[in-house]
Each structure stands twice: as structure tokens, then as C-alpha cells.
Copies of this chain bind each other. A is one copy, B any other.
């Protein structure tokens, strides 16, 4: 939409170097895209459920197998989180763009094991489904053994942010010209009970909280 790739000065302005900006992006997303390099030298990407915990990004796969195990074994990864905050309608297509917050974390993952794994799962659950952990039964040792949680240290990261109105365009606008930003956001819809739920059963506090938070 824009010529940003070749406009170094503007790009440089979008680069952020503060840790708060990194945390802000990571905490706004539920999914991270994690890139690895395969044996043949080509890249691959895994989408993983993710949540920040202090100085590490916790990752939990919904796909994986060999690739997730390679990540667990310490293969170099890049973990990316992008939040699309809006579409930027400029007076020209060239200046049109998107408002976004994007972070890419570089490094190597470590598997979280032992008692720390239970705690990591709890933290991840709190990020993804706040309050749910306390509403359900405890994780069993068997379930724990079948679960893979990785941590990616937040030692090296690149953060980019674009926000605000469109860049100004040369030339006088027509009287009825409109340009600006359409904000985008994620909202929760009406919760759908599973077939086995007794009709009329209200959703638990965790679900009600999530729905309220996004409205």
C-alpha cells in the first residue's frame, strides 16, 4: 500500500527501542509466528499460542512435532507478533498504510520443565483465558508430560510501531475530501456452549470477563 520499504527515514522513525514498547506488543497478542530454518536451509513458520512472562515469551504449540522439538532443542528462531490497529486511508494510495504494532524476538528457545512447567502453563493460561485456570481441575502428571512449553528470552528484539493519521499529501484537498484512520480491534462474540452443557447454564466468570474486556 505504501512505499515504506524504500523510505528509510520514515522507517527509522517507526523503530522503537524501549522495552515498554516490546511488552506492549507482546501483551496485545495471543498468537506468535515462530520461524525456524529447516535442514535444507529453507524457512518454516509455526503459529503458536503465546504469552509474555517477565523477560521471556512463553510458547505453546497447536502444531509442531519435529519442528517444535527442533525449537525446543535450541535451534535459532524468530518469534513475531503483529497487532493491526487500523487502516490508514490517505488522500492517495501511495500514502495509504496501516497502523500496527509489530515485534520480532530473536534467539533460542528452552523447554520449561518440572514444577516450573506447571507455573508457566498457569501464566500462559492467565494470558489467554484469564481466570480459567482456577475454574478447572488441576493438570495431571500425564497431561503435563504430554505438554510442551517453550520459553524464548527477550534479549534481542525489533519493535516497529505506526500510529496516528495519514502522512500529509501535497496539493489542496477538495472540499468534500475525507482521509483518516479506521481503527481495528478484536472483539469476543456471544459464547457458544458445548453440546453437553445443560441448557440455561450461565458461562463462568472467566468467560464473562473476557467478553466484557473486549466490548
Contact = CB atoms under 8 A, between A and B. Distances in A.
Interface of A: 1-8, 11, 14, 30-31, 33, 35-37, 41-45, 47, 49, 60-65, 68, 76-80, 82, 84, 86-87, 89-94, 96-98, 100, 102, 104, 106, 121, 124-125, 128-129, 132-133, 136-137, 139-140, 143, 146-148, 160, 162, 165-166, 168, 173, 175-198, 201-204, 206-207, 210-211, 214
A185 B214 CA distance: 10
B191 A204 contact: no
A129 B97 contact: no
A211 B184 CA distance: 9
B33 A82 contact: yes
B63 A94 contact: no
Given A43-B77, A166-B194, 19 more contacts: A1-B128, A2-B147, A3-B146, A4-B61, A35-B78, A44-B78, A45-B79, A47-B82, A62-B160, A87-B210, A91-B137, A92-B139, A165-B194, A177-B201, A179-B197, A180-B207, A182-B207, A182-B210, A183-B189
A193 B180 contact: yes
B125 A93 contact: yes
Contacts of A128: 1, 87, 98
Contact of A43 (B2, B78, B121, B211): B78
A160 to B, nearest CB: 6
Contacts of A189: 86, 182-185
Contact of A5 (B43, B61, B80, B90): B61
A146 B124 CA distance: 43
Contacts of A179: 193-194, 196-197
Contacts of A8: 65
A112 B160 CA distance: 26
Contact of A4 (B36, B62, B194): B62
Nearest to A179: B194
A197 B181 CA distance: 12
